Structure 1
Amino acid sequence: MATAPGMPDQGSIAARLERLPHSRWHVKVRVLIGAVTFFEGFDMLLAASALPVLTVEWGLSQGQATVLLAAASVGMLVGALAAGWLGDRIGRVRTVALGVAVTGLAGLGVAASGGVEGFALFRFVQGLGIGGVVPVAAAYINEIARADRRGRFVLLYEMVFPAGLAAAALVAVWVVPHAGWRAMFVLGALPAVLAALLPRHVEESPRWLLARGRGAEAEAVLARIEHRVAAASGEALPPPVPRAAGPVGPGGLRALFRGVYLRRTAVLSGLWFTAFYVNQGISVWLPSLYAGHFGLDLGTALAYTLLAHATGLLGTLAAALLVDRVGRRPALATALGGAAVSLGALAASGADTGTEVAAFASCATFFLYAINAGLYLYAPELYPTSHRATGAAFGGLWNRLGVIAGPVAVGAILGAGGGLPLVFAQLGAVAAAGAGLAWCAEETRGRTLEELSP
């Protein structure tokens, strides 16, 4: 697609975005997109927090419990693929707004459900929204960030997702025992209000507009952004430094398997799968293990679960502060390796008490949340603008396969009479395999998105 005379090209758009100092405009965008992502994280974990109560209230079997936990994950798998396609065709901001509306409205359906079938159906629909929002939002945040501080910029934004997970666990400690599990899902419907605000208050990505041949709109949007940043800083913007233009060509799913992108897609898919297999294998079962296996009261079970999410939040913060210094590849490998060591130590200890599991699982989530957030930074860096959302969302497909497979594997081991040491040993082995794969990843630190796409 040739650039019309007088219109910007990808290189000039990149150069003008790279010169922007951090400003109130960046903060506003991160807050609005972050609020959406926060509630997506909140909604993602609601079934795990409700499961101990639902198991008693509905007399759930092990298989039914697994279905309730996996329903949203299946929806997220489908939603990630659909949203990647939409994000590259109708825009990043509109796709995120649509996903938020679906998530919130489906939450009301979950709250009103009277049995396993209705609960699972509406959780599946919720998953469609959650799976669509997170990768496309990550692609958008990558596209407005400067290369030299992109890791920190994106990961500080990504902290809102584990914060949403932690908030779900924190709110559940009081709400579930006192107001019931349905109240949690009503609270989770609040982000539907944000769906109407995003298109009005968040500018579309200039990189995406230009990639779609909408050069005049890209120029107008970028000019507005430059004006707001200059007004906020009180100083004239520095002159742009010429940048590589990057490729212009067709996107779509096939583009992920051509040339250099085939290797990138293969390594990234393996990292998504292993990281989320381990993370979800732990997190969705923890409340039920504490209450069912160790006989802890509901409040203690939810408090121990909250501890794991709190340490995960700290892990994401550590990754945000270090990833631009050490690079993506060492950060990803160290995070998965740390999770493997933590889970291996828990398996070796015998996992005999709830306190012991809480301590080691919290160490594991410190590393797992760092790797999960790191992948939402890393995936959009690997693809050009024409199919960046598709690439990030295809990684989300493997992410969702891991999200489904991890809890199902844990449920199968427990259902077959396997002990907790076996559960944690196999999770640790998968994390170790992911750590080895991370050393095959391509380094992206400090390079613009256009430089990374040959």
Structure 2
Amino acid sequence: MTTVAGTPAIGSIAARLERLPHSRWHVKVRVLIGAVTFFEAFDQLLAASALPVLMKEWRLTTGQATFAVTAASVGMLLGALGAGWLGDRIGRVRTVALGVAVTALASLAVALSGGIETFALFRFVQGLGIGGVVPVAATYINEIARSDRRGRFVLLYEMIFPAGLATATLVAIWVVPNLGWRAMFVIGALPVVLAAMLPRHVAESPRWLLARGRTEEAEQVIAQIEAEVAAATHEPLPAPAAAPAQERSQGRLRDLFTGRYLRRTAVLSALWFVAYYVNHGISTWLPSLYTKHFGLDLTTALIYTLLSNVTGLVGTLIVALLIDRVGRRPALVAALGGTMVSLTVLALAGATSGVQVAVFASCTTFFLYAINAGLYLYSPELYPTHNRAKGAAFGGVWNRIGVILGPVALGAIIGSGGSLAVVFAQFAAVAAVGAVVALCAVETKGRTLEELNS
């Protein structure tokens, strides 16, 4: 059997990944996977930027506008389900590449749509790709990170997602008024190039290869990674520590709902739902609320929306720097509590002006983006390699249910004559429930993926 530093391949993959110092190899992989995630985030928010124009151009009712923005969310839900199975079946990298190709090509089709029906259809297809890529990409990044720095490593990568959201809004500020909403979706088709590049430049997860019984390939990949890291650091690699305990899993879907994993899945699902119910319920409608409810011009509305995205990016950075110190559970509880407080204050203030909403919505996204990024770190930690993509993707299913119901709830309240104060009060109540649920979360700080699932 092939050995490296005297350690046999079987059972040593995790130990050999754990001993790798941070290097250009880690940066390269995080940049390439991050570029994928950036464009997935960019594409996710395109409908929100286009919606104010579409409502006028196609004379959409509130119900039709809700249909337009939720079509992609339904696709994301189904995409998360399918990609979780594919990620554990055919590999992390191939699944991500396939999802990126679907997202990009569907974006081009959306740009060519001639009415709300075809727009919604192709947004649904685009959602299939977005929903599948993000959780599987996060799973891959988790599997190559060291346990002592996994929180910071993964969350600095996850900052790419809010950066993509912010960029989508920033680009829309100029593109939509000058080139039209279709140009935004043409830009969203650019990552089709990444779909072709990814399998050539990013090695498959050696943890996944070993779990699938492909020991020789896992050995080749880890040896290649070790060679790249050693060349980049110009130092011999430290000897691997003792191999961690072996994971106990047969890779069955039902394993997510039995034994200790039942609690993990229940808590995780609730947190995903709460985070995205609140986040998407607010962010999807913000540009339209600014223009329709407060009478602001489109450029001002998009600038206010950009402010929320920027504060979200700052929130993600702060939690990335702190989460390995404070732990996952305290970070989630604090961020959900902050979300609740921000929304409660906005509801009590009455949400009477665009500036007031912009300020408190930006405070809310500061916390919400931190929660979302934290969950992309936390989800893969809770499951063994055989089921890691399925477990992370199942959380993504509840994420998408929240994505669907959040905008629907806001649209229903506004459509029935309800006030914005009521809208934000119900979002605050949901965030309060999430904070209570987070108290039941299992702490994963500083433990290897194998230790957490042995």
TM-score (norm 2): 0.98
Equivalent residue, structure 1, for 2:392: 392
Q: For residues 375-394 of structure 1, give each alpha carbon's deviation from its aligned partner in whole angstroms, at most 9, with x where no partner exists.
A: 00000000000010000000
2:255–2:261 CA contact under 8 A, matched in 1: yes
Structure 2 unaligned blocks of 5 or more: 1-6
2:249–2:384 CA contact under 8 A, matched in 1: no
* Inter-CA distance 210–248: structure 2 relative to 1 (3 Å threshold): farther
How many Å separate the matches in 1 of 2:393 and 2:386?
Answer: 13
Equivalent residue, structure 1, for 2:9: 8
For 1:28-43, list aligned pairs within 5 A.
Answer: 28-43=28-43
Quick one: which amino acid aligns to residue 410 of structure 2? V
Equivalent residue, structure 2, for 1:233: 233
1:7–1:216 CA contact under 8 A, matched in 2: no
How many Å separate the matches in 2 of 1:222 and 1:243?
Answer: 15
How many Å separate the matches in 2 of 1:248 and 1:260?
Answer: 12
Secondary structure of the structure 2 residue equivalent to 1:190 = coil
Equivalent residue, structure 2, for 1:331: 331
Given the alignment of the two structures, is residue 107 of structure 1 paired with residue 107 of structure 2, yes or no?
yes
Quick one: which amino acid aligns to residue 249 of structure 2? G
How many Å separate the matches in 2 of 1:231 and 1:7?
Answer: 22
Quick one: which amino acid aligns to residue 409 of structure 2? A
- Cα drift, residue 247 of structure 1: 1.8
Equivalent residue, structure 2, for 1:368: 368
Quick one: which amino acid aligns to residue 103 of structure 2? T
Equivalent residue, structure 1, for 2:78: 78
1:342–1:363 CA contact under 8 A, matched in 2: yes
Quick one: which amino acid aligns to residue 85 of structure 2? W
2:93–2:202 CA contact under 8 A, matched in 1: yes
Given the alignment of the two structures, is residue 265 of structure 1 paired with residue 265 of structure 2, yes or no?
yes
Q: For residues 278-325 of structure 1, give each alpha carbon's deviation from its aligned partner in whole angstroms, at most 9, with x where no partner exists.
A: 000110000000000000000000000000000000000001000001
Q: For residues 4-56 of structure 1, give each alpha carbon's deviation from its aligned partner in whole angstroms, at most 9, with x where no partner exists.
A: xx96234x111100000000000000000000000000000000000000000
Q: For residues 185-212 of structure 1, give each alpha carbon's deviation from its aligned partner in whole angstroms, at most 9, with x where no partner exists.
A: 0000001110010000000000000000
How many Å separate the matches in 1 of 2:408 and 2:311?
Answer: 24
1:248–1:386 CA contact under 8 A, matched in 2: no
- Cα drift, residue 243 of structure 1: 3.0
How many Å separate the matches in 2 of 1:206 and 1:371?
Answer: 28
How many Å separate the matches in 2 of 1:241 and 1:434?
Answer: 38
Secondary structure of the structure 2 residue equivalent to 1:21 = coil
For 1:141-290, list aligned pairs within 5 A.
Answer: 141-290=141-290
How many Å separate the matches in 2 of 1:97 and 1:203?
Answer: 12
1:333–1:435 CA contact under 8 A, matched in 2: yes
How many Å separate the matches in 2 of 1:260 and 1:249?
Answer: 12
The alignment's C-alpha RMSD in Å is 0.8
1:7–1:215 CA contact under 8 A, matched in 2: no
Quick one: which amino acid aligns to residue 9 of structure 2? P
- Cα drift, residue 371 of structure 1: 0.1
- Cα drift, residue 244 of structure 1: 1.8
How many Å separate the matches in 2 of 1:370 and 1:9?
Answer: 37
The 4+ residue runs of structure 1 with deviation greater than 2 A are 6-10
How many Å separate the matches in 2 of 1:230 and 1:263?
Answer: 41
Quick one: which amino acid aligns to residue 344 of structure 2? G
Quick one: which amino acid aligns to residue 447 of structure 1? R
How many Å separate the matches in 2 of 1:134 and 1:19?
Answer: 27
Quick one: which amino acid aligns to residue 10 of structure 2? D
Secondary structure of the structure 2 residue equivalent to 1:88 = helix
Quick one: which amino acid aligns to residue 72 of structure 2? A
- Cα drift, residue 258 of structure 1: 1.7
Secondary structure of the structure 2 residue equivalent to 1:221 = helix
- Cα drift, residue 245 of structure 1: 3.1
1:82–1:132 CA contact under 8 A, matched in 2: yes
Quick one: which amino acid aligns to residue 17 of structure 1? L
How many Å separate the matches in 2 of 1:34 and 1:60?
Answer: 35
Q: For residues 156-190 of structure 1, give each alpha carbon's deviation from its aligned partner in whole angstroms, at most 9, with x where no partner exists.
A: 00000110000000000000000000000000000
- Cα drift, residue 97 of structure 1: 0.1
Quick one: which amino acid aligns to residue 110 of structure 1? V
1:211–1:248 CA contact under 8 A, matched in 2: no
Identity over aligned pairs, percent: 75
Quick one: which amino acid aligns to residue 376 of structure 1? Y
How many Å separate the matches in 1 of 2:194 and 2:19?
Answer: 30
How many Å separate the matches in 2 of 1:439 and 1:8?
Answer: 39
How many Å separate the matches in 1 of 2:136 and 2:426?
Answer: 31
Secondary structure of the structure 1 residue equivalent to 2:114 = coil
Secondary structure of the structure 1 residue equivalent to 2:344 = helix
How many Å separate the matches in 1 of 2:299 and 2:402?
Answer: 29
How many Å separate the matches in 2 of 1:383 and 1:188?
Answer: 32
Q: For residues 124-176 of structure 1, give each alpha carbon's deviation from its aligned partner in whole angstroms, at most 9, with x where no partner exists.
A: 00000000000000000000000000000000000001100000000000000
How many Å separate the matches in 1 of 2:68 and 2:246?
Answer: 44
How many Å separate the matches in 1 of 2:317 and 2:89?
Answer: 33
Quick one: which amino acid aligns to residue 367 of structure 2? F
Moved more, 243-252 or 278-287: 243-252
Secondary structure of the structure 1 residue equivalent to 2:191 = helix
TM-score (norm 1): 0.98
- Cα drift, residue 255 of structure 1: 1.3
Equivalent residue, structure 1, for 2:49: 49
Equivalent residue, structure 1, for 2:317: 317
2:248–2:453 CA contact under 8 A, matched in 1: no
Equivalent residue, structure 2, for 1:3: none
For 1:354-365, list aligned pairs within 5 A.
Answer: 354-365=354-365
How many Å separate the matches in 2 of 1:199 and 1:69?
Answer: 32
Quick one: which amino acid aligns to residue 18 of structure 1? E
How many Å separate the matches in 2 of 1:120 and 1:9?
Answer: 48
- Cα drift, residue 246 of structure 1: 2.4
How many Å separate the matches in 1 of 2:162 and 2:145?
Answer: 21
Equivalent residue, structure 1, for 2:295: 295
Equivalent residue, structure 1, for 2:426: 426
Q: For residues 412-441 of structure 1, give each alpha carbon's deviation from its aligned partner in whole angstroms, at most 9, with x where no partner exists.
A: 000000000000000011011101110100
Q: For residues 213-233 of structure 1, give each alpha carbon's deviation from its aligned partner in whole angstroms, at most 9, with x where no partner exists.
A: 000000000000000000000
Secondary structure of the structure 2 residue equivalent to 1:25 = helix
Secondary structure of the structure 2 residue equivalent to 1:241 = coil
How many Å separate the matches in 2 of 1:22 and 1:83?
Answer: 29
1:246–1:384 CA contact under 8 A, matched in 2: no
Equivalent residue, structure 2, for 1:436: 436
Q: For residues 53-108 of structure 1, give each alpha carbon's deviation from its aligned partner in whole angstroms, at most 9, with x where no partner exists.
A: 00000000000000001011000000000000000000000000000000000001
How many Å separate the matches in 2 of 1:129 and 1:262?
Answer: 28
Secondary structure of the structure 2 residue equivalent to 1:244 = coil
